[in-house]
Amino acid sequence: MTDSWSVAGRTFNSRLIVGTGKYKDFEQNAAALEASGAQIVTVAVRRVNVSDPSAPMLTDYIDPKKITYLPNTAGCFTGDEAIRTLRLAREAGGWDLVKLEVLGEAKTLYPDMRETLKATEILAKEGFLPMVYCADDPIAAKQLEDAGAVAIMPLGAPIGSGLGLQNKVMIRLIVEGAKVPVLVDAGVGTASDASVAMELGCDGVLMNTAIAEAKDPVMMAGAMKLAVQSGRAAYLAGRMGRRQYADPSSPLAGLI
Amino acid sequence: MSSSDLISIQLNGENRSFEGPLTLLELIETLGLKPNKVAVERNMEIVPRSTLADVQCADGDALEIVHFVGGG
């Protein structure tokens, strides 16, 4: 079964987006990416090391012609910083599909939605296609969509926490209200968390630490691939209704 | 070489001196970087890659040269 999804007119078969941070080395990162089946990776924009220009580069291990690079604004605490970062990213890579995140504070890495909304508007006007990391707020999600976000990416739990989805009701409400794709971005800790996100009807899941900090990142990447597929299939299949009490699976008629 | 040939640049936050005249493209190559893998911001403005060979480094320029690294 092909079950593709589209963001800003681009179609992908994998609903898993993976980060490229925190890996032991580029080889492990590339192997995990392969096992995950992901077609999009998030990347950060940073100063080049001018004292060691021959240091290996991400692009030597993950081919931007085969894998879609999604530049992020990780570490930006104002909209202006984020916009500046993405302008550089567009010049460096030529890509207009970007991940906007404007953080509110270091402790929680929770998004600053006022700055995020302002930056989304400006980026959209400049021709960017921003996929936006955001709070699990259905109203903010609608405002982002109106401002030009091409995807809504609420957190399921704090970035890097691995706590799993703490806000299933809010994620579902965002999914029901959105006309653009919704992806859970941040909070996934293990495979079942990814399935939960997909079972809620999300279009995809974005994760980094859950794979990179697993004892075996390549095996976990494979597990995440299956979890996303399985959660998606369960969503499409339509789960049974919930009952408050038991309902026997074997017939009552003909009991001896 | 007289001191007037030296251009002082703030490069990725560090003060550096280079022998001038020097275009941005020449600077990137002098640093051993590949122009097609980086982006340059000069005094807070993006320099399009196609114009790197046309822009001269000026004394006091603040340059940021960035590339993609792993991130989530």
A187-210 average pLDDT score:
98
| pLDDT, tens digit (0-9, with 9 covering 90-100), for A114-154 | 999 999 999 999 999 999 999 999 999 999 999 999 999 99
Q: What is the mean pLDDT of residues A153-178?
A: 97
The ipTM of this complex is 0.91
SS (H, E, C) A161-218: CCCCCCCHHHHHHHHHHCCCCEEEECCCCCHHHHHHHHHCCCCEEEECHHHHCCCCHH
Contact status of B43 with chain A (Cβ, < 8 Å): no
pLDDT at B1: 47
- The residue written with tokens 């789960």 in the block is A239
A42 membership: H or E segment, kind and range? strand A40-47
Q: Express each pLDDT in B13-67 by its tens digit.
A: 999 999 989 999 999 999 999 898 899 999 999 999 999 999 999 999 999 999 9
Average pLDDT value for residue range A64-81: 96
Q: What is the pLDDT of residue A23?
A: 94
Residue-level length of chain A? 256
Q: Please name the residues between 114 and 173 in chain A that touch chain B, using a CB distance below 8 Å.
A: 159-160
**Contact at 8 Å (CB) between A125 and A148?**
yes
Chain A CA closest to residue B12? A47
DSSP state of B30: H
Nearest to A228 by CA among A204, A210, A208, A209: A204
Q: What would the two tokens of residue B48 be?
A: 């399009």
What is the average per-residue pLDDT within A1-16? 93
| Burial class of residue B44, CB neighbours in 10 A (0-12, 13-18, 19+) | exposed
Flag if A46 and B33 touch (Cβ within 8 Å). no
Mean pLDDT of A191-214: 98
